[in-house]
Structure 1
Amino acid sequence: MGRQWTIEESVVIDAEPERVYAAVADPRRMGEWSPEVFAVRVRGRRVVPGLAFVGFNRVGARVWFTNCRVTEAVPGRAFAFRVTTFGIPVAVWGYRVEPAGDGSTRLTERWEDLRRAGRGAAFASLLGRVFTGVPADGRAEVNRQGMRTTLARIKAALEVS
């Protein structure tokens, strides 16, 4: 199979959509969910489109950061952010929140690789490999596994509290 540019994973959580949204739309909590993110520095208080934050990531001994900007923040429905490295578009990450009946919620995490043809795409792919150890054509599968872990952690946290 060729390179995947977009992937999605979903889970049903026994919690109301507003509660699920509140958890995933707080960038400061990403370190609780993600297997790569270990810290987030947010530049602002209100989670609205335009809010900037920096994600600090780790895989083994490799550590790197990404600059992020919220692109979508619709309470109870959707949250997304764009990732850049040195000003070069890298990816869009997002969450879709949908009622699933009986007070439960379907949470879908989505990733889109923006390192296609254009300004800096090859350079961004090279940086990704250097920092993460993952070649661009393997990033989708690594992210898919990470999404499954992330969604399982969100589900576990929200269903016990």
Structure 2
Amino acid sequence: MRDSVSVRMAAPASRIWSLVSDVTRIGEFSPETFEAEWLGGATGPALGARFRGHVKRNGRGPVYWTTCRVIACEPEREFGFVVEAGKLSINTWRYRIEPTDDGAVVTESFELSSALVLRIYWGLLGWARGRTNRDGMRTTLERIKAAVEQGA
């Protein structure tokens, strides 16, 4: 109920961090989340900050909003958030940045909660959703790579 994708980027960690932690730009990169906005007076990444993302599931639908809370916020190293449904944490997403001599390796990952309903869902449909998530993470990271390597 978890997976990750890593992509090497020829850009400084600071430039990568500024994109992965700016949720208002997610629509430029993600094949499913086409917009997001900070909530509760938050204007940028910080531990505990909340935002909501507008999602078009599988790039086709249904369309819905998710509420998220930042759980990892280490500039130039890691940005992570949990997708919430009420008080239940559904899915954790992370971007880890590992600096290298010529840029960085960026890893995007997800991990579903171990709630019973999600374990059942993953047992029935995980093969398809896992592939969709993996493809989506690869697309997101490749789009971020193009932006940071062009200096956008």
Gaps of 5+ in 1: 129-133
Contact 1:37 1:57 in 2 (8 A): yes
Comparing 71-80 with 61-70, greater Cα deviation is found at 61-70
The 5-angstrom pairing of residues 11-160 of structure 1 reads: 11-43=7-39, 44-58=42-56, 59-102=59-102, 104-114=103-113, 116-117=114-115, 121-122=116-117, 135-160=125-150
Deviations 1:60-93 (A, max 9, x none): 1410111100001000111000011233221000
Deviations 1:83-105 (A, max 9, x none): 11233221000011011212x11
Task: Give the distance between the partners of 2:120 and 2:52, measured in 1 at CA.
Answer: 19
Comparing 47-56 with 83-92, greater Cα deviation is found at 83-92
Gaps of 5+ in 2: none
| TM-score between the two structures when normalised by the length of structure 1 | 0.83
Identity over the aligned pairs, expressed in percent?
A: 35
Contact 1:93 1:109 in 2 (8 A): yes
Aligned-pair CA distance for 1:138: 3.0
Task: Give the distance between the partners of 2:8 and 2:2, measured in 1 at CA.
Answer: 21
* Number of residue pairs the alignment of both structures matches: 146
| TM-score between the two structures when normalised by the length of structure 2 | 0.87
CA RMSD, 1 decimal:
2.1
Distance 1:157 1:123, change over 3 A: closer
Identify the residue that residue 10 of structure 1 maps to in structure 2.
6
